[in-house]
Amino acid sequence: MNLKTEQILTTDGVPLSISLKKAERKNKIKAFLLVAPLLLFLLITYISPIGEMFTRSIDDRMITNMLPKTFKAMENWDGQELPPEEVYASFLSDYKVLVENKTQGKLGQRLNKEKNGFNSILKKLKRKMKKFEDGNYKEQIISVHKRFADVTYWQAMKRTAPPYTIGKYLKAVDMYEDQNGDIVQVEEKRRVYKTLWIRTLEVAFFVTIFCFFMGYPIAHLLATIPVKYSNLLMICVLLPFWTSLLVRTASWMILLQQQGLVNDFIVMIGLVGDENRPQMMYNKVGTYVAMTQILLPFMVLPLYSVMKTVSPSMMRAGKSLGGTPFVSFWKIYFPLTISGVGAGSLLVFILAVGYYITPELVGGASGTLISNNIAYHMKQTLDWSFASAMGLMLLFGVLAIYWLYNKLVGVDNIKLG
């Protein structure tokens, strides 16, 4: 026997299921409209700049657009010996157009990054090509400068032919693509970027360790003493936030210099003689000291917020069961604060990896980090594509560290209070 169920209707005569779906759709639209300003803000200020950085880091169309005839003629050149007459003639034709448009300087700057010496020979070519005769362009161009007879310069030019390249990323790890398409390392004396990456991770790691060993007892003291005293000490912890980062860094420069207060104190207590004052500025020592002091509150605050939730009765219970103070601390108290340790360590490490002002002022040649090199290429060499590539590598490196931390510890165990 078939049972026919009647639909439940609303007061308007609309089936209840349809009415509920309409109401749910309206609620979803309202929720989306509420978060739309935030999504638009993230798109404009975060996602769009990252996309622009990525596009700039792989975009190499400038050379392709400047030398269309040259790269067309190079398609049949094997890249082993000097290019034929056709390539020289096509290059001269393209270069004359650039000179007429007064854009030849950009070509020289870009090719000079690929092979040192390009900029100077192109400037000389600009002066000499007015006297060139028709025909036999290869010989005439070579007569301008002997580098035009060096096949490595033409190989370097051919490497810039693809409109998109990963060359900037390879350069950031001291590698490049040779004329055969193989990825090889640069000469040992020119390997600088791997050292910078390793130094950046090293400084960030040790600053995190120093902040932990200094911040843990401070946070424990704040969490266990009476409130009226802990509030006063908390003001001391937060006090650096009320002072400019630049001022704090400049203060450390005054304290750590060879005639500064720290050196004077070391000499006064007799640890070293006046003629053997230690060098604590413009090296890693200054970077470690200044960055540790500046980032210490970022370790203390997460630890304090977690320690405040740990009941003092836990330690008393451990002692009553026969545990020594150290065993009770290690077996009971410390595991309960792991979430705060994880939060503080991750926060300090990520901040330290991208630090710029402090290493720039007190680090010197041996204490600067990868962020300082990014700023150098942004402001000095104007190689924004290379700076974008290094910036993205730094970003994804931090994300990889976060992913690894999530796999080993789990971000669910991170607590800020």
Can you tell me the distance from the alpha carbon of 140 to that of 157, in angstroms, rounded to the nearest whole number? 19
Residue 340 burial (C-beta neighbours within 10 Å; 0-12, 13-18, 19+): buried
pLDDT of 233-287, one tens digit each?
A: 888 888 888 888 888 888 888 888 888 888 888 888 888 877 788 888 888 888 8
Label residue 207 by pLDDT band (50, 70, 90).
very high
CB 286 within 8 A of CB 256: yes
pLDDT of res. 204: 92
Q: How far is the CA of 36 from the CAs of 33, 42, 43, 89, 137, in angstroms?
A: 5, 10, 10, 56, 61
Can you tell me the distance from the alpha carbon of 73 to that of 59, in angstroms, rounded to the nearest whole number? 22
Kindly report which listed range (2-11, 123-132, 260-269) carries the lowest average pLDDT score.
2-11
CA nearest neighbour of 224 among 297, 299, 303, 292 = 303
Residue 2 has pLDDT above 50, yes or no: no
pLDDT of 280-332, one tens digit each?
A: 888 888 889 989 999 999 999 889 888 888 877 777 777 777 777 788 888 88
Percentage with pLDDT > 70 across the chain: 94
Q: How high does pLDDT run on average in the chain?
A: 84
Give the position of tokens 């402090």: 358
Residue 412 has pLDDT above 70, yes or no: no
CATH class of 193-413: mainly alpha
